[in-house]
Amino acid sequence: MSETDFLEREEKVDDILEELSSKVNKLIEIRKDIVFKEEMVKGEKERERVLSREEIPQLLLSRGLSVIYLSTGERIDIVEKLTASIPKKNIEDRSKVLKWLIENGGSNLVVKELKVEEAEELVIDFLQEKGIPFTNAPSVNANSFKAFLNAKLGLKKGSLQEIELGDIPKEANPYLYKETKIKE
């Protein structure tokens, strides 16, 4: 290899390193920008939540209004919404919520999953009779659970109230709130 070839090769390596350094610096800058923008979005979501769930509902409800039409054509509704969840980590709390759900007509929401330590396909009663170890891990779709509760509380359009918010096990963390709905 001649001295010229060596120098050209060294220049190419320097060019590649320079280009790589530039791209890595750009990537670092973009990632920092993403983190900054995500924090800004987080702040905007909190401001939106305060306006939608607190300030606008309080303003309208304090004047005895739950619906108003603006001169610009938007219809502003204050609607009640519910959030709740099935506990995941605390087995005792989870069992209470699932038991309550089944006792109150929501057994169709509970997905029964049976994990048998030995790969035999047996029904639960047979497993219990034979003393075969198994884990019973029922689950419920979160959106189905909320829809069920909304219907039971009479919050779903066309449904009649069958239960009070206090009837829902506290372990489900039920929370009823007002929210601003804008129809354009």
What is the mean pLDDT, run by run of 10 residues, along the chain of 184 residues?
62 82 93 97 96 95 94 93 88 90 92 61 68 71 92 91 93 89 81
Q: Return the pLDDT at 119.
A: 47
- Half-sphere exposure at residue 67, Cβ-oriented, CA atoms within 13 angstroms: 3
- Give the 3-state secondary structure of residue 131: coil
pLDDT for residue 181: 81
Predicted pLDDT of residue 90: 85
| Positive/negative CA dihedral, 132, 133, 135, 136 | positive
**Residue 84 is encoded by which pair of tokens?**
């709740």
pTM of the model as a whole = 0.57
Residues 46-81, buried b or exposed e (16+ Cβ, 10 A)? eeeeeebbeebbeebeeeeeeeeeeeeeeebebeee
Could you tell me the residue ranges of all domains in the chain? 1-65, 68-183
Measured in whole angstroms, the distance separating CA 180 from the mean position of its chain's CA atoms is 19
Residue 79 in 3-state DSSP? strand
